[in-house]
Amino acid sequence: MMTNSNTVEIINDKRIEQLFNEYYLVLTAYANKFLKDLEESREVVQDVFVKLYDRKERIKIHTSVKSHLYQSVKNACLNIIKQNQNRSLHHENILYLNDAASYEIDDIFEQTELEYQLYKAIGELPDQCQRIFRMNRIEGLDNQEIADYLQISKRTVETQISKALKSLRLKLSPTLLHLMILWLIYNSK
């Protein structure tokens, strides 16, 4: 427990269990205010505690643990909202491109096939390149956030994204390449 503002909270297994028992329900309700989905809110709170557990040896909490947990849940919820918006925008872009390019897609199956080909090409990238590309273009994280999370340099992140784009340009047909470029432009805003 913290006694004053200069104290650093020590996190161990027992303390994490105490925090979980004390804050799980209220944090779930807090997350649900953002997400409006109880199951997803539960998952967010569980993930926050899992990350706390995974980082317990290196984490130093200079504020109250309660504040730290609330901020972590809020950030996780905002990331999910951002990811959902990116996914929604991605689907809107595909529909727009289908109309704009006068594709005669009368069936959702054909749209799904286009998405499948794009994701398949992304899935064929080398592991680290693929992970960084997905974090940036699909999850919406910026280069510095990825670098911090993976504990690599920002320049490495930039290089991997560049390699991914080059590889995708070579693998995708011109039609899918145009689709991907527009999708990336809209998702990078």
Q: Which residue has the tokens 């650093």?
A: 8
Domain spans in the chain, listed from the N-terminal domain onward: 13-79, 101-187
Taking phi over 0 as left and psi of -120 to 50 as alpha, with beta for the rest, 140 belongs to: left
- pLDDT tens figures, 28-76: 999 999 899 899 999 999 999 999 999 888 877 777 889 899 999 999 9
Give the pLDDT score at 77.
Answer: 92
Give the pLDDT score at 106.
Answer: 46
Give the pLDDT score at 87.
Answer: 72
Give the pLDDT score at 116.
Answer: 73
CA-only gyration radius of the chain, Å: 20
134, 118 contact by CB (below 8 A): no
Residues of the chain with pLDDT under 50: 1-5, 101-107, 109, 189
Give the pLDDT score at 107.
Answer: 47
CA 94 to mean position of chain CA atoms = 21
CATH code: domain 101-187 is: 1.10.10.10
Amino acid letter for position 136? N
Give the pLDDT score at 96.
Answer: 62
Give the pLDDT score at 98.
Answer: 56
- Domain 13-79 = CATH 1.10.1740: yes
Q: List the alpha helices (DSSP H) in the chain.
A: 13-35, 38-54, 65-100, 108-123, 127-133, 143-150, 154-171, 174-187
